[in-house]
Structure 1
Amino acid sequence: MQPADRTAPAHLDALTGIRGVAAWLVVLYHIRDALTGILPAAVIAVLAKGYLAVDLFFILSGFVLWYNYAPRLREGGVAAAGQFLWRRIARIWPLHLFILGLFVVFAPSFVAVGRDASFYPLAELPLHVLLIQNWGFTPGLTWNDPAWSISTEMAAYLVFPLVIAAAKWERLPTAALLALGLALLSAIALYFWADDDTILGADISRLGLVRCLLEFSLGNVLCLVWLRWRGAAHGAKIAFAVCLGALGMGLHLGLPETMFVPTCFAAGLLALALGRGAIIGALGGRALRYLGEVSYSTYLAHTFLFLAFKLVVSHAAPQIGWSGLAGFLVLVLASSIALYHGVEKPAQRWMNRHTPRWPWRESAIPAE
């Protein structure tokens, strides 16, 4: 494997664009019950699968982090691992803490309009602050529930340097990498099957951590395969065919989503990373790329914004109508932009400028 350019790693714009699309699917998933009066049942049924976008996030995260950090972590050792973890904390923690603070301030108002008070347990706040709330310590999702996935990503970040140090993965034959990918896909299906679950979003507080770790690792393997195939003439077509084949077979045979959706996502992301053409150009275009850049703010803030929107605008009415939908989407977009430029990036830059002085030799790790 050739390491990425240390000064300016290539940015896969289509993958950034798809991240933005996925974030908005999660937004629509969480507000779908307020849209049943204006959208057909078939559309609502599609939106009800929006939680699967999180699985796409996990695989994509594993891919991108392997590409950007694996060579540096392998060469830099313990010092590089410390800097990597600090920079990942700088990336995800400040905005998480900001949104969590908004929930703390406004929780009494949300309870006053019918939100279950048990959704805001003060005893669990330290777990949320430390981003360990979804490590098996609690029976359900609380406070800012989308942050469960950020909690499991934090666990993946802790494991990631150890995975890199465990073996010379880049030296494995391509056949071995593909076998490892198939093993991870099988492990995902078997993990849920052993719990008698067929839905990837089942029992998140108990199953979400392993779900993330397996899919993040799948993304690592996917990146290794991409680094081998990125010059292949027909790699994108093969990956896209696998994606469509897995989707068609899964739907035709009525297979549990645990058995085919991760395959679709992995093959689809590989096709995007390898491919060219109109779809790749659209996803990598300025508009969708920007949506991808602000997608973390979109993802973390939209639940709070919807609760506040219903409190102020719709007065907790069960339906929001077309005008309400348009107003809320504009609110989310504007807030995402404001949070990205006003909170997320400034806080990240500040933390990266104040990296702890490690007692061992330092090795340069770029900010993301």
Structure 2
Amino acid sequence: MTDFFIIDSGYVLARIYGDRLAAGQVSLAAYARQRLQRVIPAHLVVSLILVAIVGGAALAGVAPSNPQWFDWSQLPAQVLLIQSYGVPGGQGWNAPTWTLSALIGCYLLLPGICRALWRWPPTAVVAGAVILVLVANLAATLWLGDPLYRLSMRFGILRALPLFLLGVAAAFYGSRVYVAPRIAGALGVIAAVALVGLQAFGAFSLLSLALMTVIIWAAGAVPVLKPSRLIEQLALMSFSMFLTNEVTRIVWFGALEALGQNGGPPGVRWMLWAVGLIGALAAAAVFRYGFDRPVQTWLNGPGRSRRRGEATVVPATPQGSGAVVTAGHPGRAVV
């Protein structure tokens, strides 16, 4: 799922910004500021909440069952989102944030990537991205001892960048080469069925990555005829879910363990898991509507519009990218 998220992030951002970044029509400072302010405020608040929970539990005499995952020396690198660049620390705590750490690097490299790739034919860009993934996978296996898709968070940027580029290539191809929606939809369904079927025979991870990319490309090539308000809201909430689900899991299962309620018959354990899932969704909704959306609205409000021609981000997509409205073209949105 992490790899899918990284590929999808490359696809979404390249579809939103790619042409204008390649043409030099977006202020690089404004673009970088938007990407950072989309991620950092929410990340810092969730980190503070987790620190308060762990610190409060320690003051109350409640020790975590896995104290190695709450080593205070690991916290600075994670809070600063630098754990994916080979620096010490960043283990445990809100562990999934290594993805954000790596993606920030990918986000900041995107302008140069678009300027370099947008001059090439779409098929050449896709072929180059596939070759890069294969070469990166071979290099990771030979030099770091793990394939690309299993690299530790310490090498997160090395894991994320080739996959991010795969999504960028899919976006570039989708914006340049027309494929009838019926054909694209059929290819997407075939890829999804193949992806599920592969899991019964083994990981086949590189092939799985290719199938994920096809699914993402196909989803972007098929128009949505009747948007679902529920699906839209769930999609908009996914970034908050990504940030908060680990914290909710720690709190829920830690409380169950402290109360001695984490065992029992399978039916009871499944019920507790289901309640935890509902709690994770509720916590994500509270965080999105109580903090993340108001803060993003304030940061990107009309009173803070950039110079003419710069992009203003409005409510975020699952990748935190947001729709983009070009100043000077009110009502014209790219999603």
User: TM-score with structure 2 length normalisation?
Assistant: 0.78
Q: Is the 8 A contact 2:167 2:213 kept in 1?
A: yes
Change (3 A) 1:68 1:363: same
Match of 2:233 among 265, 290, 294: 290
Q: Does 1:93 align with 2:36?
A: no
Partner SS state of residue 294, structure 1: helix
Change (3 A) 1:317 1:140: farther
Partner SS state of residue 366, structure 1: strand
Give the alignment of 1:113-124 within 5 angstroms.
Answer: 113-124=63-74
Q: Which residue of 2 aligns with 1:103?
A: 50
User: For the residues of structure 1 that align with 2:303 and 2:10, how far apart are their CA atoms?
Assistant: 23
Q: Is the 8 A contact 1:85 1:158 kept in 2?
A: yes
Q: Does 1:173 align with 2:121?
A: yes
Q: Which residue of 2 aligns with 1:336?
A: 284
Q: Which residue of 2 aligns with 1:131?
A: 81
User: TM-score with structure 1 length normalisation?
Assistant: 0.72
Q: Is the 8 A contact 1:54 1:149 kept in 2?
A: yes
Q: Does 1:365 align with 2:308?
A: no
Q: Does 1:301 align with 2:244?
A: yes
| Superposed displacement of residue 258, structure 1 | 3.5
User: For the residues of structure 1 that align with 2:46 and 2:302, how far apart are their CA atoms?
Assistant: 22
User: For the residues of structure 2 that align with 1:245 and 1:313, how far apart are their CA atoms?
Assistant: 38
Match of 1:142 among 52, 76, 92: 92
Change (3 A) 1:243 1:127: same
Q: Which residue of 2 aligns with 1:8?
A: none
User: For the residues of structure 2 that align with 1:183 and 1:287, how far apart are their CA atoms?
Assistant: 39
Q: Which residue of 2 aligns with 1:237?
A: 186
Identify unmatched segments of 5+ residues in structure 1: 1-52
Give the alignment of 1:177-216 within 5 angstroms.
Answer: 177-194=125-142, 195-198=144-147, 200=149, 202-216=150-164
| Superposed displacement of residue 178, structure 1 | 2.8
State the AA in 2 paired with 1:364: E
State the AA in 2 paired with 1:294: M
Q: Is the 8 A contact 1:124 1:133 kept in 2?
A: no
**Range that drifts further, 127-136 or 261-270:** 127-136
State the AA in 2 paired with 1:114: P
Question: Which structure has more RCO (C-alpha within 8 Å, separation ≥ 6)?
Answer: 1
User: For the residues of structure 1 that align with 2:198 and 2:49, how far apart are their CA atoms?
Assistant: 44
Q: Is the 8 A contact 1:66 1:220 kept in 2?
A: yes
| Superposed displacement of residue 155, structure 1 | 1.1
Change (3 A) 1:206 1:92: same
User: For the residues of structure 2 that align with 1:60 and 1:294, how far apart are their CA atoms?
Assistant: 16
| Superposed displacement of residue 54, structure 1 | 0.7
**Range that drifts further, 116-125 or 174-183:** 116-125
Partner SS state of residue 112, structure 1: coil
State the AA in 2 paired with 1:163: I
- How high is the sequence identity, in percent, across the aligned residues? 23
User: For the residues of structure 2 that align with 1:67 and 1:174, how far apart are their CA atoms?
Assistant: 14
Aligned pairs, how many?
304
Q: Does 1:62 align with 2:5?
A: no
Q: Which residue of 1 aligns with 2:328?
A: none
Q: Is the 8 A contact 1:86 1:355 kept in 2?
A: no
Change (3 A) 1:193 1:311: closer
Q: Which residue of 2 aligns with 1:265?
A: 212
Q: Is the 8 A contact 2:141 2:148 kept in 1?
A: no
User: For the residues of structure 1 that align with 2:113 and 2:303, how far apart are their CA atoms?
Assistant: 23
State the AA in 1 paired with 2:219: L
Q: Is the 8 A contact 1:120 1:143 kept in 2?
A: yes
Q: Which residue of 2 aligns with 1:345?
A: 293
User: For the residues of structure 2 that align with 1:94 and 1:54, how far apart are their CA atoms?
Assistant: 22
Identify unmatched segments of 5+ residues in structure 2: 314-321, 323-335
**Range that drifts further, 53-62 or 127-136:** 127-136
User: For the residues of structure 2 that align with 1:306 and 1:250, how far apart are their CA atoms?
Assistant: 26
User: For the residues of structure 1 that align with 2:145 and 2:190, how far apart are their CA atoms?
Assistant: 30
| Superposed displacement of residue 274, structure 1 | 2.1
Q: Which residue of 2 aligns with 1:162?
A: 112
Q: Is the 8 A contact 2:11 2:164 kept in 1?
A: yes
Deviations 1:56-102 (A, max 9, x none): 0000000010111122323446x611111111112111111111001
